[in-house]
Amino acid sequence: MTATEARTHRAPAATRLRGHVDLFLNAGSLMATTLITSLFGFAYWWLAARVAPAAAVGQASAAVSAMTLIGTIGMFGMGTMLISDLPSLKSHKWDLISTCLLVAGAAATIGGVLYVTLAHWFVPGLRTSTPATILLVVGIALNAITLVLDEALVGLLQGPLQLMRNAWFSVIKLVLLGAAALLPFTLNGGGLLLTWVAGIVLSTAILGRALRRRGMIDSLQPRLSLLHGRGRTAFDHNLLNLATYLPRAALPLVVTAVLSAEANASFYTAFMVLSFLAMVPGNVALTLFAVTSGDRAALRSKVRVGLALCLGGGLPVSLLVVALAGPIMSVFGHQYAASATTALRILALTYVPFVFHHFFLAVSRVQNRVRGAGIFSVFAGAAELLAAWYGGSRGSLTDLVAAVAIVMGIETVIVAPTVLRVVFARPAGLDPGIKVMSTTRLTVHERAWLPLEYIRTIGPLTGVNAPRIRLALLGLYQADPKHRAVSRLDRSSGRWQHLYASEIGAYIEQAVTDLGDGPADFDAMTRQLQAEPRGDHPVRILVGGGYVAMKVSHAYGDAGPVNDLLHELVSAAAEYRPAILPPLARPRFALFKAWFAQFGTKPGRWKTGISFARPPAHEETAIRPWEPALTVRTARSAKVLKQMRAWRDEYAPGVTTSAITFAAFTAALSELGLDPDLSGGTFLADARRYLAKGTVIDSNFCFGPYLSPDRLTDPMSIHTTLKAELGTGRILTMMMLRTGKIGLLGAPGMPDTLPSQITVRPRPRLTFSNQGRHDMLGDLDWTADPAWRVNQSVPTLTGPEGITLTTSEMNGVLHLEATFHASTFDAGLVARALELVCTDPAALIMARR
């Protein structure tokens, strides 16, 4: 790669880091959880020591330790198994989560019963009253459940929600303890434990309410069948978790056994400082596992950023601890400084081994090498304990720590190659067989629309076939090798990849499919493209029988740019010449300038500019299983536009034909018994109307606000509402906010997974898209009169209860397309609604007046 080419791959650090906000946000929430729970935990035990007898505090702390230990074991790998499986699970996510919570709770309950039984018979100091014993078992089960739940939220990349639950838990138990201290009785161990358990219950209830308000829970039906085939995975994760957790937890016991309790006090204090440092790589690695489980292509970039964060941020701090080890230990007392200063210095130097060990575990989990990593961790943990025993039995605390550090260094030599192979691997998203000349980063607008696609199907035409379309695209490449229509779309990194000339022929061959010269089913061509998964071709074309079906990623553009591309490709193919599309400038601040022109110097419009209508919350009803079945129905009429205009002149002067069409379609759905949601709809609108004169945007510049006309079956109401909305310029604020969010958090390359359940009686939620006039296509070499020409505009995505109506006009003919899921609504009824609109829209509207 030349220096020039290398520079094209570089981007400002801030720009590169924006794509990793998911890593920072979720890892940061985990670290914040640790800090908050530690801070409030200290406050809790400080207060408990002052309001309760020492014996009660001892009993409660022992109970909490048992809850933590047995709860961790009782998770049985369910949490990390969920982190692994949830990102790739298309349905039944919360069914699986609830099943894992049930299993973990049951396993922890069994462990809790065994613990209290053994304590009752063999450890008299841990005996408690029957109510306190029952409460302890319940607490152990609840602790295991919430531990699994927290990791499930990490798997859903909802780290801030687990932070919220833990923050509420910390605050609630502290408040309850303060309230109990004011009551006229002496707190015992059971009372302290009750505040802890109540905190778990109440914080989980608050979390549940937040999840439901956000519509994140689709179903909570435990199904043990969902664990079929996952038992081995859970076992492997549990083995790895315990092999990592138990040896470190046992180290203080070894120190006490081979040295003394006093030496362990010093060691535990020094090890606590190291644990605080190790919190960073531990949480980053756990988040890395969650983020990349559903997107392995991102593993390389996430590991590189994570390592840079841990080494760049944590290593200087660990070296600072080495330098200040004496003063740090002096905080705890002179005796601690005398016995453990050198030990802390050695432990601080093991920060790098901690980093590589945590990242090794994360990479192993992502690459499905969990069992191997677990077996390695078992031997590594045993080696550390043996080293601690050997060093301590032959010397001091310093010798013990040095022996453990040597073993950890050897472990680093073993595991580091696994991590570094990922760091220096070939970038994800690059097919080894494809040579990329250079790349261009997608703009924020392009990234915002990346998950969506748009299909245009036209015909019948003459002089158009697959070889000629390929020739037109090849000519476009020769004129502009970086044109987006002939570039590769890398969804994982959000870049246009520009190919070498040696690669473009095969790439265009794959982009254009030849269906032959025989009779073609144009509706089937549209459905075929609709059903195809999203790929790396921004432009995907089917050609056959005189018809052209072109699927374009919305990252390329919306209606205007797509029609320009379609017109030029078809014209060039008919004329047997290369396509010519001059490159357009990509103005960076067009949106901000348009927004500032609308609101920046007009404070009186600010209030209107930030008040947005939101779709109403729908009441929860009975649900049923559901699978997507995206389909489209179409209709056209050469007569209905004249009828609409005649009716408008008499009953609704000034109303647009698109408003009449929208109202008539809604009325038709109502007449046919589909009972559409009349509270409002989404209206897609082009925002170019707000741009300064001469400013051209060749990608996407539109938005779909939710509007609530007084009557969705009245054209005048729709027209008035839409006109008023466009008059405010409010969609520019919506676009600005969305741009800011995407710039900060990044944007997905694929759409969100559709739910697995819907309401038993779904009501159509309507989206209206007016594509305007397509008369610019009128000069193509059509082989049919306007009334018989196909001109379809079809999206490739809609919600499970959504119906998207797309309208356009071409040479006096109205073209309609309805996109929906046939598994939700009867396709025949939707097609009938389109026919009614094309037959007598006035009758539909007048019947609803």
CA pair distance 287, 306, nearest whole angstrom: 9
pLDDT digit string, tens, across residues 45-88: 788 877 888 777 767 777 777 788 788 888 877 878 888 777 76
Element (H, E) at 672: none
Q: Which of 776, 759, 837 is nearest to 805 (CA)?
A: 837
List beta partners, residue 681. Answer: 707
φ/ψ (deg, to 5) at 422:
-70, -40
CB 799 within 8 A of CB 765: yes
pLDDT of residue 848: 85
Q: Name the region of 625 (left: φ>0; alpha: ψ -120 to 50; beta: rest).
A: beta
CA pair distance 28, 33, nearest whole angstrom: 8
CA pair distance 626, 399, nearest whole angstrom: 63
CB 548 within 8 A of CB 520: no
Handedness of CA 263, 265, 270, 271 (dihedral sign): positive
Residues in Cβ contact with 49 at an 8 Å cutoff, skipping those fewer than 6 apart = 57
pLDDT digit string, tens, across residues 481-498: 999 999 999 887 778 889
Structure tokens at 645: 């205009």
Of residues 784 and 423, the one with the higher pLDDT is 784
List beta partners, residue 685. Answer: 703
Question: Which range, 229-233, 264-268, 300-304, 790-794, is most confident?
Answer: 790-794
CA pair distance 844, 841, nearest whole angstrom: 5
Whether residue 644 is predicted with pLDDT greater than 80 in this model: the reply is yes
pLDDT digit string, tens, across residues 464-474: 999 999 999 99
Q: Which amino acid is at 549?
A: A
3-class DSSP state of 806: strand
CB 239 within 8 A of CB 77: yes
Is the pTM above the cut of 0.85? no
Helix ranges (H only) for 424-539 are 444-448, 466-479, 501-511, 522-531
| Sheet with 539-544, edge to edge strand ranges | 512-514, 539-544, 547-553, 453-459, 790-795
Least confident range from 209-213, 395-399, 611-615, 660-664: namely 611-615
3-class DSSP state of 799: coil
CB 677 within 8 A of CB 802: no
Q: Which of 511, 439, 450, 449 is nearest to 482 (CA)?
A: 439
Average pLDDT, rounded, for the chain = 84
Residues 664-669, mean pLDDT to the nearest whole number? 96
Q: Which amino acid is at 680?
A: G
Whether residue 225 is predicted with pLDDT greater than 90 in this model: the reply is no
pLDDT digit string, tens, across residues 730-766: 888 888 887 777 766 566 777 777 888 888 889 999 9
∠ at Cα 753 (749, 758), nearest 5°?
155
